[in-house]
A and B are shown apart, each in its own frame.
Chain A
Amino acid sequence: QDGARAENDWSGHLARIVEAQDRAAFAELFAHFAPRVKSFLMRSGATPTLAEDCAQEVMATVWNKSHLYDPTRATVSTWIFTIARNRRIDALRKDRRPEPEDLPWGPEPEPAAADVMAMQQETEMLRVAIRALPDAQRELIEQAYFGDLSHREIAARTGLPLGTIKSRIRLALDRLRHAMK
């Protein structure tokens, strides 16, 4: 029932954390995402104890990195996914995870509401498309993201339905780059 509903836009909660260190906003974010992060980590092979510890660490990182979140480039789910993934690599593989440099920020501190909305809608369309995939293909994608499918095994087999989200992100990046000139 939860999955059938469109996901809420959580970016306002992050903005309240950045602007006012709003603990109530964080508590709501936590109630929604911490159990999902824990489930994601357990499906990736973590024990319940390790998953609990990592999920708390992930949510603490959400607070400490909240000023770096850009709602025109990712939904909150996507952004938290990247934090959980990095934490999983630290905890389960004990590898270092080199991170790319951050993109230069444009001069306007306020993201355009239309861009935030568009990113939200396109991610929702992507979610619907993934849900509609044939079981075998969706399982392959889940294996790649939750499991430990190596880059050789992933090959070109996943055929992910990325649709227009790619061009949306590319446009956002272009705009950022031109804003810096």
Chain B
Amino acid sequence: MTELIKHHLTDTLLTAYTAGNLPEAFNLMVATHLSLCDTCRAQAEALEAVGGCLLAECGTEAMAADALEATFARISTGTAVPARRRDSCSVLPQPLRDYVGGDVSTIRWKPVGMGVRQAILPTSNAASARLLFIPAGAAVPDHGHRGVELTMVLQGAFSDEMDRFARGDVEVADEELEHMPVADPGEDCICLAVTDAPLRFNSWIPRLVQPFLRI
């Protein structure tokens, strides 16, 4: 499954994720992609090795005299952390299931017009994350972007002016790109989309409703 992914995260995003400098919505996107993509996971783990080297060389600050005992006390009240195993039967990888509270059937969709539905996920305000449902063969209105928008396919596929995107593929859109994603005819398309700025729609109807949709 994972070797079929053609469109990956950028090194910039993976570095910022590894260093811990991304807004929550983007962290969610990266964690979800890494759950499906071993190529980007290897890159992220290599970047973590950079962090390990810096930790090894960053100097020392003396701990409190009772720090070790205090830490043993914390250990005795804590519990072993369970592994978060892959469940390849789910449409939503575990990081997304944590936000939705379950798999696809538990998503609370809201219609946004032309059959397209969305569900906004609760993240900090620096960037926003939402799930998109595009009925088989349907289109998302033609739009541009004010900031960075990442869209990752979770089910089905869509095509736009750039290419075709299937499960695990990420499209990175910025100010330069105007596009109209169209879902493949065979299957409804579900995507995770994150953005650090509102989208810019080209037709007047979507622009009117944009403030209410929070996209």
Q: Specify which chain A residues have a CB less than 8 angstroms from the CB of B124 in the assembled complex.
A: 93, 95-96
Q: Which residue of chain B has the shortest Cβ distance to A119 in the bound complex?
A: B49
Interface residues of B in 17-76 (CB under 8 A from A): 18-24, 26-28, 30-32, 34-35, 38-39, 41-43, 45-64, 67-68, 70-72, 74-75
Contact present for A144 and B56 (CB under 8 Å): no
Among B90-98, B157-165, B206-214, the one that faces the other chain is B90-98
Interface majority SS (helix, strand, loop, mixed), chain A: helix
Q: Which residue of chain A has the shortest Cβ distance to B90 in the bound complex?
A: A101
Q: Given the complex of chains A and B, what is the CA–CA distance between A74 and B45 in angstroms?
A: 8
**A16 is an interface residue with CB less than 8 A from chain B:** no
Interface residues of A in 78-125 (CB under 8 A from B): 78-82, 84-86, 88-89, 93, 95-104, 122-123
Q: Specify which chain B residues have a CB less than 8 angstroms from the CB of A144 in the assembled complex.
A: 15-16, 19, 21
Contact present for B81 and A64 (CB under 8 Å): yes
Contact present for B51 and A85 (CB under 8 Å): yes
Q: Given the complex of chains A and B, what is the CA–CA distance between A35 and B12 in angstroms?
A: 30
Contact present for B58 and A146 (CB under 8 Å): yes
Q: Given the complex of chains A and B, what is the CA–CA distance between A156 and B11 in angstroms?
A: 7
B101 nearest CB across to chain A (Å): 14
Contact present for B58 and A36 (CB under 8 Å): yes
Contact present for B46 and A154 (CB under 8 Å): no
Chain B interfacial residues counted at CB < 8 A: 69
Q: Specify which chain B residues have a CB less than 8 angstroms from the CB of A82 in the assembled complex.
A: 48, 51
Q: Which residue of chain B has the shortest Cβ distance to A151 in the bound complex?
A: B16
A98 with B46: in contact, given A127-B57, A154-B15, A160-B15 (CB under 8 Å)? no
Contact present for A59 and B71 (CB under 8 Å): yes
Interface residues of B in 106-120 (CB under 8 A from A): none
B197 nearest CB across to chain A (Å): 12
Contact present for A170 and B42 (CB under 8 Å): yes
A35 with B63: in contact, given A75-B49, A101-B95 (CB under 8 Å)? yes
Contact present for A36 and B56 (CB under 8 Å): yes
B24 nearest CB across to chain A (Å): 4
Contact present for A30 and B68 (CB under 8 Å): yes
Q: Given the complex of chains A and B, what is the CA–CA distance between A103 and B156 in angstroms?
A: 24
Q: Specify which chain B residues have a CB less than 8 angstroms from the CB of A55 in the assembled complex.
A: 63, 67
Interface residues of B in 75-94 (CB under 8 A from A): 75, 78-81, 83-87, 93-94
**A42 is an interface residue with CB less than 8 A from chain B:** yes
Q: Specify which chain B residues have a CB less than 8 angstroms from the CB of A26 in the assembled complex.
A: 72
Interface residues of A in 36-79 (CB under 8 A from B): 36-40, 42-43, 48, 51-52, 55-57, 59-61, 63-65, 67-68, 73-75, 77-79
Q: Given the complex of chains A and B, what is the CA–CA distance between A23 and B20 in angstroms?
A: 31
Q: A100-B31, A130-B53, A169-B46 are in contact. List 20 more A-B contacts (CB 8 A).
A: A34-B67, A38-B62, A39-B60, A67-B80, A80-B55, A81-B51, A85-B20, A98-B98, A100-B93, A101-B84, A102-B84, A126-B49, A141-B54, A146-B54, A160-B47, A160-B50, A170-B39, A173-B38, A173-B41, A174-B38
